């Protein structure tokens, strides 16, 4: 048997088991599926990084990108700020909240690869001038802001822009 035939067969079997396991897990009675799980039917799973004795799969909806324990959606259409907030919420997510330099680098690289345009909404806004707050209600910490090294955040007018949504990856 040729090695590539074996690898393709093994991958197909592995994919089938993961799909069956994911479907069984997501359809268990008694567990309330998350809004993200309710919004999507197609998923992409990859092996989770081992943490202690736990091993499993981390899954994101098809078309989303996984980084660490989160899933990210880079939009291909533009909307207003309010529509962007609602769109992400409707998919069981929220506009991205940048928590680390590594996350900022990942999001920046994904945006650059998308070649869609220069402006994307993230989950940072100011209801009053200079009082920035993330959509998850955590205050903006200026001294911890990752944009100081990448210099790619801008305070733009709330017109129609692309958006980056974020949600916790589903672990199975």
**What integer pLDDT is reported at residue 147 of this predicted model?**
54
**What integer pLDDT is reported at residue 4 of this predicted model?**
52
Q: Which residues of the chain are under the pLDDT cut of 50?
A: 8, 12, 16-30, 148
**What integer pLDDT is reported at residue 29 of this predicted model?**
38
In-domain check, residue 138:
yes
In-domain check, residue 4:
no
User: CB–CB of 168/70 below 8 Å?
Assistant: yes
- Domain around 165: 64-171
Of 7, 52, 45, the residue nearest 26 (C-alpha)? 45
| Residue 166 to residue 66: CA distance in whole angstroms | 10
| Residue 86 to residue 161: CA distance in whole angstroms | 14
**What integer pLDDT is reported at residue 22 of this predicted model?**
46
**What integer pLDDT is reported at residue 129 of this predicted model?**
82
Task: Please report, for the domain that includes residue 135, its CATH number.
Answer: 3.10.100.10
List b or e across 83-107, with b for residues whose CB sees 16 or more CB atoms inside 10 angstroms. ebbebbeebbbbbbbbbeeebbebb
Other CB atoms within a 10 A radius of the CB of residue 65 amount to: 17
Q: How many domains does the chain have?
A: 1
**What integer pLDDT is reported at residue 75 of this predicted model?**
95
- Note the pLDDT tens digit of each residue in 115-148: 777 789 999 988 788 788 899 888 787 655 555 4
In-domain check, residue 159:
yes
Of 43, 41, 153, the residue nearest 96 (C-alpha)? 153
In-domain check, residue 57:
no
In-domain check, residue 14:
no
Both tokens of 150, joined, read: 């990448």
**What integer pLDDT is reported at residue 65 of this predicted model?**
95
């Amino acid at each position: 048997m040729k090695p590539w035939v074996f690898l393709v067969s093994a991958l197909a079997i592995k994919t089938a088991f993961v799909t069956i396991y994911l479907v069984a897990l997501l359809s268990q009675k008694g567990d309330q599926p998350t809004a993200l799980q309710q919004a999507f039917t197609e998923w992409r799973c990859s092996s989770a990084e081992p943490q202690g004795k736990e091993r499993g799969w981390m899954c994101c909806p098809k078309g989303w990108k996984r980084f660490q324990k989160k899933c990210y959606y880079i939009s291909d259409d533009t909307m207003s700020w309010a529509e962007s907030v609602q769109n992400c919420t409707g998919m069981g997510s929220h506009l991205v909240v940048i928590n680390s330099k590594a996350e900022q680098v990942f999001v920046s690289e994904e945006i650059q690869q998308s070649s869609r345009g220069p402006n994307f909404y993230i989950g940072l806004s100011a209801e009053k001038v200079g009082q920035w707050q993330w959509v998850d209600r955590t205050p903006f910490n200026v001294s911890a802001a990752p944009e100081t090294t990448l210099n790619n955040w801008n305070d733009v007018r709330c017109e129609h822009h692309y958006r980056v949504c974020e949600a916790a990856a589903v672990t199975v």
